[in-house]
Amino acid sequence: MADNRVDTRVSMRTPLSRVKGLGASGHGVEHWWIHRVTAVSNIPLIIAFVIIVAALAGSSYEQAIAIVSHPLVAIILLLAVISVTNHMRLGMQIVIEDYVHDKGLKIAAVIANNFYAVIIAVACLYAILKVSLGRILI
Amino acid sequence: MAEVKVAPRPLSPHLQIYRWTWTMAMSVVHRATGIALYGGIALFAIWLVALASGPRAFETVHWFFGSPLGLLILFGYTWVLLHHMLGGVRHLVWDFGHGMEPGVRINMARFTLIGSVVLTVLIWAVALLLF
């Protein structure tokens, strides 16, 4: 944030505050930016995800294990889970901040949103790793 | 003491005031599909955890997704996913400052709906033929 005033010496802000340039909120455009970055990374990952799920649809237990434990499939699924859970967490926070006006309720909803995203992420990551690494260890 | 008069604060009009346009409708659908995907990803997590749990859990979950209700949910989920993806691409185009003109933005909004429906049918046709 550029400081365009003629004489910045009269400012009440400390030099450190001015250098950081974050203002009263204490943070900048990270939320918006990571939402865009994950939107971009989602595109190829979701295309691959749709193909993988289509291949999994008619498969038996053994076939499904074989597909998910293939390194390329496992890596794509792991990346997709990381990208998607971050994107959906940021997106839902925007929705909450738009529609939940009560302050306490808003904080509770944002925390619940974070918990949900992390639970989904850990459940998926654990399952993919167990299925793919389990086959090596047996 | 002067009386403090509190004038009623102006309120911005809500959805029902406006005439529906393509861009407005697709904006609403983009957010709605995002919320649906947010809940729907739990189905994928359940499927993966069932796969990691063993054959019995997997058979139960697999049976559900193979049932008419399960297939309907998966078909709907495919469309929701593709609509949100095409809508997202539209937003990325806007982020670079392109496609803001009236004709272009309405065509882009129409394309998100038509494109997502066509792609959904195409994906299911290919999936049913190949797998």
Q: Does A133 touch chain B (CB under 8 A)?
A: no
User: How far apart are the CA of B33 and the nearest CA of chain A, in angstroms?
Assistant: 11
Residue in B35, B45, B55 nearest the CB of A120: B45
Rounded Cα–Cα distance for residues A36 and A18 (Å): 27
**In a domain? residue B43:** yes
Per-residue pLDDT at A9: 63
**In a domain? residue B76:** yes
The whole domain housing B47 covers 23-130
* Cβ–Cβ < 8 Å for A45, A23: no
Q: Taking the domains of chain A in order of start, what are their residue ranges?
A: 27-137
Q: How confident is the model at residue A21 (pLDDT cuts 50, 70, 90)?
A: confident
What predicted TM-score, i.e. pTM, was given to this entire model? 0.85
Q: Does A73 touch chain B (CB under 8 A)?
A: no
CB contact under 8 A, A61 and B31: no
Q: Does A99 touch chain B (CB under 8 A)?
A: no
Among 1.20.1300.10, 1.20.58.710, 3.40.50.720, 3.30.1780.10, name the CATH number for the domain at A27-137.
1.20.1300.10
User: How far apart are the CA of A30 and the nearest CA of chain B, in angstroms?
Assistant: 15
Minimum Cα–Cα distance from A59: chain B residue: B131
Rounded Cα–Cα distance for residues A76 and A45 (Å): 7
Q: What is the pLDDT of residues A88-133, one digit of tens each?
A: 999 999 999 999 999 999 999 999 999 999 999 999 999 999 999 9
Per-residue pLDDT at B30: 96
**In a domain? residue B103:** yes
Q: How confident is the model at residue B43 (pLDDT cuts 50, 70, 90)?
A: very high
Q: What does the pLDDT average to over B49-70? A: 93
Q: What does the pLDDT average to over B115-128? A: 94
Most confident of A6-15, A117-126, B20-29: A117-126
Q: Does B89 touch chain A (CB under 8 A)?
A: yes
Rounded Cα–Cα distance for residues B48 and A128 (Å): 7
Q: What is the pLDDT of residues B67-113, one digit of tens each?
A: 999 999 999 999 999 999 999 999 999 999 999 998 999 999 999 99
Share the mean pLDDT of chain B: 91
Q: How confident is the model at residue A64 (pLDDT cuts 50, 70, 90)?
A: very high
Chain B residues touching A55 at Cβ < 8 A: 131
Minimum Cα–Cα distance from B120: chain A residue: A50
ipTM of the complex as predicted: 0.85
* Cβ–Cβ < 8 Å for A96, A49: no
Q: What percent of chain B lies above the pLDDT cut of 70?
A: 97
Q: Look up the CATH number of the domain holding residue B34.
A: 1.20.1300.10
CB contact under 8 A, B48 and A42: no
Q: Does A110 touch chain B (CB under 8 A)?
A: no
Per-residue pLDDT at A6: 66
Residue B37 has pLDDT above 70, yes or no: yes
Per-residue pLDDT at A136: 63
**In a domain? residue B12:** no
Number of domains in chain B: 1
Most confident of A56-60, B9-13, B62-66: B62-66
Phi and psi at residue B24, to the nearest 5°? -65, -45
Cα radius of gyration (chain A): 22
Q: What is the pLDDT of residues A23-38, one digit of tens each?
A: 777 777 889 999 999 9
Minimum Cα–Cα distance from A114: chain B residue: B38
* Cβ–Cβ < 8 Å for B65, B47: yes
Q: How confident is the model at residue A58 (pLDDT cuts 50, 70, 90)?
A: confident
Q: How confident is the model at residue B13 (pLDDT cuts 50, 70, 90)?
A: confident
Helices (H), chain A: 15-20, 30-57, 61-68, 71-99, 103-137
Question: Which A residues in the span 22-61 are in contact with B, Cβ-Cβ below 8 Å?
Answer: 36, 39-40, 42-43, 46, 50, 53-55, 57-59, 61
**In a domain? residue B16:** no
